[in-house]
Structure 1
Amino acid sequence: MVIIDSEGPFPDVAGILVARALWRYRSELAPAYLLAVLALGGAVLHLTHPQWWPWLLSVATVAAWALAMFGARVGLSLRIERFYAATVAMGGGGWLSAATALGVMFGPLPMLLAGGGFLLAVPWWTHRRRRTKVRVDRQIAAWPEIAQSVGLAGSRAQSAVVDVWGWRARFALARGQTIQDVMAKVPAIESALGTFRGAVRVFPTRDDKANRFELRVLDSDPHADAIPWPGPSVSSITEPISLGPFEDATGARVLLLRRHGLIGGVAGSGKSGGINVLMGNLSACRDVVIWAIDLKRGMELQPWASCIDRLATTPEQARAMLRDAIAVLEARADWLAANGRRVWEPTPELPALVIVVDEYAELADDAPDAAGDTDSIARRGRAVAVTLIAATQRPTQKAMGKGAVRSQMDVRVSFRVRERKDVDLILGQGMLSAGWHAQTLDAPGKFLLSAPEHDTPRRGRAYLLTDVTVAETAERHASVRPALDEVSRRALDEARMTPISEPSVLVTPSREDRTENALREALDGAPDEGLPIAHLLMITQLSRPTLYRRLSELVKAGRAVQVGRGRYKASDHVR
C-alpha cells in the first residue's frame, strides 16, 4: 500500500508552477500587476502619509508631460505610443493621489480602478510591439527544441530585444559549434521560427567571441521601398562615403582612399544607381579629380560630364586615358621620392585621381591592350592616390582582362547575382559559404558590402538618385571641381610631346592638332545658343583647365564667343 502525504511536496510544486506561469505570461498580466501595485501603494500611503497626495499628483503630471514630449528617447517612437504612456502615467498617478488622501475603498475609487484599468489594458493587449514581445518570449523559451531540430543542439538564448523591424537575440553556442555552422542553418531556422524567406540574419556579437552569435529576425523589410538620396555624405576623399543604409539604419560607409573598388551584379540589379551614389559623393569632394570610361557612348556617365575631368566613350579614348593615368602615376611616384614622402596626401591643390570604369568587360573586349595599364594602376596606384573603380556584371577572369586587377580590389559591392557561384567572383573566394548570399537579394539597389571595415554579411540598399537629382547635383558641384595638380599636368604635357618612335609612311596630325581641330569644328557647328562645356569636354577629351584656357585664347583672338554661362560657339565673322 502506498500512502500519500497530503502535506508533502505537492503544494510546493503547485506554487512553483503558478509562479512560472505568472512569470511566463508577465506581459499579458502587466495591467493586472500595475493595478495591484496601485491598490497596495494607495492603502499603505493612506495609513502612513496621507498628506503626500499633492506631491504624488505633481510627480504624475510631470511624468506624463515628460513621456508625451520626450518618450522617443526611451523607445516610444510613435506619437500614439507616447500619448498612451502619458495617459497611463496621469491616470495611475491621479488615482494613487486620491487613494492616498481618501483611502482605497472611498466611494467610487475601487470602481474607477477596475474600470479604468480594463480600458487602459485593451490597447496594451492589442499593441503590435507587445504582441511581438510575447511571441518572441515564447520562441526564445522554445529555442532548445528549435535548436535540436535544426542541428544546433546545446545552444541557448542569452537575451532578446524587440525593435522597430522585428527582434534580435544573443545566443551562446555549444562546444565545437561556430557561427559558420549557424549561417549554414539559416533556411532551417527560418522554417522553425515560421518567418518569411530571407527574414533571418546572423552576425557575430560585438565582443567577437567564437562561441556566440546574434540572430536578427525581421517582421517587415526595411528596404522594401526605394530610399531617396539625402545628399553627399562627404566633402573629402579622406572621409568614408555612405552608399546607403543597412537594415539597422546605420550607414554603409566605406573609405575609398588608397583602395580600389569592384561593383558587380546582373543587369537591373541596381549597379547604375550605386555608381550614381558614388559619383554624387565624389563630385562633392574638392580633393578629387574624376576620370571616367563609359564605352556605351557615355550613356550612363554622360549626365555627370560637367563634373568629370575626362570622359572616354570610345576604345581609343580609353587607351589614351589609361596611358595618361600611368604617366600621372609614375610622375607622382617620382615626386614623392624626390620630396622624401611615402604617400600622396590629397588636398585641393594635390587632388586624388579616381578612374571610374562602367562595364569593365566592354573595355577588356574592345581595348584588350589597355588591360595591362589597368593592372599597373591597380598594383601601383594606392600610394599615389590613383584609384580604380570598376563596374561589371560578372567579373570573370576573361571579363577582367586576364590580369591581376580583381585581386587588387579591396572594396567589393555585390548587387543581386543570378548564380550562386557569382558571389565568389564578385566578393572573393569562399564568401558564398561564409554566408554572403547575394543571390537572395530581391530588389534593385540592395547590396552586400565587403571591405576591411565590413567583414560580415549585412544587407544595404543604395540611395536612389532620380534623373532630376543627378542633373541638379552635377550642376551644383561643377563649379567646385578641382584641377589636376601641377606634377600630373606636367607629366601629361611631356607625354604628349614625346615623339612616336614607330615609323609611318603617312604623316598624321599630332594629338594636339587633332584636339584643336575637333574644338574648332565643334564651335563652328554649334547652334546659336552655343555648346555646353560638358559637350566640349567629351568631344575634345581635354582636361577642364586646358579646355577653359583654349576657349579663353579663342575668345581673345576673336574666333569664339561666350553666349551664356558655360556655353560657347564660333564668332559670326569666323563662320
Structure 2
Amino acid sequence: MAKHHNSTDPEAQYRESLEGASNGTGVLAWVAHRAKPHTPPWLMTGAAGIGGSLAWVPAHGSAGYAVGLTLGSVGLTAATWWAGKSTTPQRRLHSAVTVAAGSAWFTGVALAGWNSLTFGAFWIGGAVLSLSWNVRQVMRRNPDAVQAATDADGSLLEKVKLAGAKIRRTEVEPNRVTADLVLPAGELTNDDVTKALGNLASGLDVATTAVRYLPDPDSARRGTLTVVPKDMLADVVEWEMPTNVGGSIADPLVIGRYDDGSPLMLWLPGDPQAGRNATHLLICGMSGSGKGDGALNVLTEIMGRRDVIVWLSDPKAFQDFGPLRPGLDWAVEGGAATEAMVSAVQGVIPARTRWLGAHGYRQWTPQAAEPQTDPAHSCRKGRACGCEGMPFLVAWFEEAANTLRFMGEDAFTGAAQEARSAGMALVISLQRPSHDQLSTSTRASLPSVLTFGLDPRDEGMALPGPVLDAGAHPGAWSNRRPGYCYLVTPGVDEQRHSAPGRTWRFTGRAARVMEQLAAWAQRNGAKVDPITAKAAAATVGNAYTQRNGQKDNADASDDPYEGSVYVEQDQDDDMAGRVDPEDTGLDPQAELPPVPDSLASFVLAGPSSVPDFTPEEARAAMDAIVAGFEQAGVMVIGPKDVMEQAEQFGRSRPWVSGEFRRLVEDGRLVPAAQKGRYRIVPAPALV
C-alpha cells in the first residue's frame, strides 16, 4: 500500500517520490506515477492531430474556411499573449509560441490534409513542444535554487535580528507571498517580528506597508508573514455606480480593492448563521487623504440597497453629498438640528428593539424589513400578524468633530452602545480620531474603522494595537496617497485588517449617477416604518415630521396620541387612567384659552418697552417661547437661546434657569446629551 506524505519541503517530496517496491509491479507503478504529471502536453498534441484530421473534411478547398482559420489562429495567439501579462516573461513567450505553432499547424492540416509536410511538422514540432514543456516542468525542481533561497532567507532573517527563524510553508500568488514563520523556542517571540517589519521591508526593497505579520493566537513563536511586492493600488480607478443596486443591506458593501486586487468589503448588519456581529463604523482621515471619496463609496453602496433608510447630518451643507440628498429619509446641516437627530436616534432605539423582540428577532435580518407574514415572526400568538416591516436604519454623522464640540465628546456613546440590537448602524466621520475629540467609551463602541492617511500620533486611536503591530501604518501615507486605507470590520479575515486598500475615486462625472441613484432610492428604496417614524416624532416632533420641508404622512394621524412610544397602547384600552386626577374633567380636544393680547403681541412681535409681567404671565411667556421653538422644529435648546426674549420682559438668567428646572419637572423638557442643553418633549407626548 502506498504511503501518503504531507511534507512541504521540495527535497523531502523528491526523496519520498523515489520510495517504492523494487519488483516488477512496483517499478511499473513508480514509472506510471512519475510519468503522469508530464502527460498533459502529449495529450494536447494528440488532440490537435485528431482535431485537424476531423477539420479537414469540411475545410479542404474552402476559401472561407481558410480566412476564418487564419484569423482564428492570429486571434488565439494574441489572446494568449494578452492573458499572460501577469505571468513571468518566459512563461508568456513560451505559451504564445506554443499556441501560435499549434494553431498554424491545425490550420494547415485542415486545409491541405495529411502530407509529408504536415506529418513531419506534427511529428517533429509536436514532440519538440511537448518536450519543452516537460523540461520546463522538471526544471522547476532545482536543489541549488532551493538551497540558495534557504540561505538567502536565513541571511536576511539574521540581518534583521531574527536568526534561527524558519520558513515552513510558502504560498505564492500572482502578487502575494505568504509564509509560515517559526521562531526558535525560548529565544524570540512574535513581538520581535513585529518590531523587525520595517527592516524586513528594507531588506526586500518594498514599501513599509507591503510587509505584514499576523501572530498565531495559540503560539508566541509562530505566525504568518505576508509580502505584497507590487503596489496594485497605484492606478486610480474611478467610481462608476453601486455594485448591487436593489440588493439587501445585509449583502457586502464593496467600496474598493486591496493591494492584491481582491475586493474591499464590509457589512453593517449582523448575520446569525455566519456568526458575524452587527457593527458601527468610524471613518477617519486627515484633509486630502481621500476620506470624502471613501465616505461617498460607503454611502452610495448603502443607498443602492432596497431595505435601508439613512439619516444624515452634514455640517458642511452637503458639499459632497448634495446629489444624494433627495434619496435620504432625513438630512440636516448641523447645529441644533443635529442635536435633534441625535435625540431622535436615542428615542427610536427602545421602540425598534421592542418591535424586533415582539416579532421574534434577536437581531435585525432582511426578513424584518418585509411584511410579517411568517407566524414564526409575529406579534400575535398562533398566526401571522401582517405588520409592516422595519428597514435597517443608518444614522450618519459627517464631520462629527463639529457635533462633538457642540454636544460634548460623549454625544454618541449611549446610542452607539445600544443601537446595534435595534437594527441600526451609526457612521461617525471625522478627520482626527484623537482623544480630545472622541471619548474612549465612544471609540470602544465603534467596532469597525475605515481609516485613511493620518497624523502618526493618531494611529493608536484609529486602529487596534494588534493591527498596528501586524504592520498597518496609515501615518506613512499622510495625505500623499489619497484613497489608501485600512479596513477593520467583522466578517473580514484578520490578515486583511493590516492589508492596505484603496477606494474608488469620485470625479465630476459621478454627480449625474449619484442624482440617478437618489431618484432610484426615492422610488424603489425603503420607506420609514411606522414604529420608527412615530418614535422619532414623539421624541423631536416637528424636527422630524416636517423634515426636508414636508410633513410625514406616517404621522398625519387624526389622533395625536396614537402610536406614541411614551404611552402604552392596548386595542381595548383608552386614555382613562393615563392623566393626572386634577385633569380628569378636561377635554384634551378642546381649544386652549386665548393668550392675553399684551402677552400675545409680545411673544409674536416683541415689546417696545419692558412690560410689567406678573409671575403667571412670565411663566406663560416662557411656555410660549418654548412652543415657538417646537413649532420651528428646533427641539434642543438651552437657557442662552431664550435669554434675549426673556430680557425683553425683565427676566434675568437665574429666573430663566429656574424656569428650565420647572419645565423639566413638568416633563416639557428633558436633559440632552450636552450639559446645559434640553430636548423639548412634543406636546402630544406629554399626556
Structures share a fold, TM > 0.5?
A: yes
Q: Secondary structure at the match of 2:468?
A: coil
Q: Secondary structure at the match of 2:288?
A: coil
1:255 CA drift (Å): 1.2
> Residues 151, 283 of structure 1: CA spacing in aligned structure 2 closer, same or farther, 3 A cutoff?
same
CA contact (8 A) 2:410 2:442 kept: no
State how far apart, in whole Å, the 2-side matches of 1:247 and 1:321 are.
38
For 1:463, give the aligned amino acid. W
Q: Secondary structure at the match of 1:412?
A: strand
1:56 CA drift (Å): 8.5
Q: Spell out, residue by residue over 1:294-348, the C-alpha distance to the aligned partner (whole angstroms, 9 max, x if none).
A: 1122223323201211111131110111112222112112333444543333425
CA contact (8 A) 1:161 1:169 kept: yes
Q: Look up the match of 1:313.
A: 333
Q: Secondary structure at the match of 2:485?
A: strand
For 1:490, give the aligned amino acid. K
Q: Which of 360, 365, 369 is the aligned partner of 2:400?
A: 360
1:192 CA drift (Å): 2.4
1:200 CA drift (Å): 3.6
1:487 partnered with 2:524: no
For 1:450, give the aligned amino acid. V
State how far apart, in whole Å, the 2-side matches of 1:168 and 1:71 are.
28
CA contact (8 A) 1:423 1:431 kept: no
TM-score (norm 1): 0.64
Q: Look up the match of 1:58.
A: 49
Q: Look up the match of 1:282.
A: 302
**1:106-145 mapped onto 2 (5 Å cutoff):** 139-145=149-155
1:69 CA drift (Å): 9.2
Q: Spell out, residue by residue over 1:33-68, the C-alpha distance to the aligned partner (whole angstroms, 9 max, x if none).
A: xxxxxxxxxxxxxxxxxxx9x958727989x98995
> Residues 229, 384 of structure 1: CA spacing in aligned structure 2 closer, same or farther, 3 A cutoff?
same
For 2:458, give the aligned amino acid. D
Q: Look up the match of 2:257.
A: 245
> Residues 141, 483 of structure 1: CA spacing in aligned structure 2 closer, same or farther, 3 A cutoff?
same
CA contact (8 A) 1:424 1:431 kept: no
Q: Look up the match of 1:573.
A: none
Higher radius of gyration, 1 or 2: 2
1:224 partnered with 2:234: yes
> Residues 68, 159 of structure 1: CA spacing in aligned structure 2 closer, same or farther, 3 A cutoff?
farther
For 2:49, give the aligned amino acid. S
**1:46-445 mapped onto 2 (5 Å cutoff):** 55=46, 58=49, 77=86, 84-88=94-98, 139-158=149-168, 160=170, 163-165=173-175, 167-176=177-186, 177-193=188-204, 195-198=205-208, 200-204=210-214, 211-229=221-239, 231-234=241-244, 235-257=247-269, 258-345=278-365, 346-347=368-369, 349-368=389-408, 374-400=412-438, 402=439, 404-419=441-456, 421-429=457-465, 431-441=467-477, 442-445=480-483
Q: Which runs of 5+ in 2 are unaligned?
A: 1-10, 15-42, 54-71, 106-114, 270-277, 371-388, 542-559, 561-565, 567-587, 589-617, 635-687
Q: Which runs of 5+ in 1 are unaligned?
A: 1-19, 24-51, 96-100, 125-129, 517-575
> Residues 85, 328 of structure 1: CA spacing in aligned structure 2 closer, same or farther, 3 A cutoff?
same
RMSD: 4.6
State how far apart, in whole Å, the 2-side matches of 1:61 and 1:203 are.
53
State how far apart, in whole Å, the 2-side matches of 1:418 and 1:172 are.
34
State how far apart, in whole Å, the 1-side matches of 2:505 and 2:536 are.
37
CA contact (8 A) 1:261 1:412 kept: yes
State how far apart, in whole Å, the 2-side matches of 1:153 and 1:351 are.
57
Q: Secondary structure at the match of 1:329?
A: helix
1:475 partnered with 2:511: no
CA contact (8 A) 2:212 2:470 kept: no
For 2:534, give the aligned amino acid. R
1:232 CA drift (Å): 2.2
1:178 CA drift (Å): 4.4
- Aligned residue pairs total 436
CA contact (8 A) 1:60 1:94 kept: no
State how far apart, in whole Å, the 2-side matches of 1:232 and 1:136 are.
47
**1:7-26 mapped onto 2 (5 Å cutoff):** none
1:380 CA drift (Å): 0.8
State how far apart, in whole Å, the 1-side matches of 2:51 and 2:182 are.
42
State how far apart, in whole Å, the 2-side matches of 1:224 and 1:136 are.
33
CA contact (8 A) 1:60 1:93 kept: no
CA contact (8 A) 1:412 1:451 kept: yes
CA contact (8 A) 1:423 1:436 kept: no
State how far apart, in whole Å, the 2-side matches of 1:475 and 1:394 are.
32
1:514 partnered with 2:525: no
1:382 CA drift (Å): 0.8
CA contact (8 A) 1:294 1:300 kept: no
State how far apart, in whole Å, the 1-side matches of 2:102 and 2:182 are.
40
State how far apart, in whole Å, the 1-side matches of 2:215 and 2:80 are.
29
State how far apart, in whole Å, the 1-side matches of 2:215 and 2:232 are.
22
State how far apart, in whole Å, the 2-side matches of 1:344 and 1:404 are.
24
CA contact (8 A) 1:394 1:425 kept: no
CA contact (8 A) 1:288 1:352 kept: yes
> Residues 347, 143 of structure 1: CA spacing in aligned structure 2 closer, same or farther, 3 A cutoff?
same
1:423 CA drift (Å): 1.2
CA contact (8 A) 1:170 1:205 kept: no
> Residues 483, 94 of structure 1: CA spacing in aligned structure 2 closer, same or farther, 3 A cutoff?
closer
Could you tell me the percent identity over the aligned residues?
A: 23
Q: Secondary structure at the match of 2:509?
A: helix
Q: Spell out, residue by residue over 1:106-143, the C-alpha distance to the aligned partner (whole angstroms, 9 max, x if none).
A: 9xx99x99xx99xx99xx9xxxxx9xxx9999555411
1:82 CA drift (Å): 5.5
State how far apart, in whole Å, the 1-side matches of 2:152 and 2:238 are.
40
Q: Secondary structure at the match of 2:469?
A: coil
1:444 CA drift (Å): 0.7
For 1:237, give the aligned amino acid. I
1:198 CA drift (Å): 2.5
> Residues 386, 166 of structure 1: CA spacing in aligned structure 2 closer, same or farther, 3 A cutoff?
closer
State how far apart, in whole Å, the 2-side matches of 1:278 and 1:233 are.
11
State how far apart, in whole Å, the 1-side matches of 2:146 and 2:432 are.
41
State how far apart, in whole Å, the 1-side matches of 2:436 and 2:222 are.
41
State how far apart, in whole Å, the 2-side matches of 1:163 and 1:75 are.
14
State how far apart, in whole Å, the 2-side matches of 1:342 and 1:233 are.
29
Q: Secondary structure at the match of 1:467?
A: coil
> Residues 171, 376 of structure 1: CA spacing in aligned structure 2 closer, same or farther, 3 A cutoff?
closer
> Residues 440, 330 of structure 1: CA spacing in aligned structure 2 closer, same or farther, 3 A cutoff?
same
Q: Which of 477, 488, 491 is the aligned partner of 1:453?
A: 491
State how far apart, in whole Å, the 2-side matches of 1:340 and 1:147 are.
56
Q: Spell out, residue by residue over 1:478-531, the C-alpha distance to the aligned partner (whole angstroms, 9 max, x if none).
A: 3323211011122233332799xx956252455674369xxxxxxxxxxxxxxx
Q: Look up the match of 2:37.
A: none
State how far apart, in whole Å, the 2-side matches of 1:93 and 1:226 are.
38
CA contact (8 A) 2:434 2:461 kept: yes
Q: Secondary structure at the match of 2:349?
A: helix
State how far apart, in whole Å, the 1-side matches of 2:505 and 2:297 are.
8
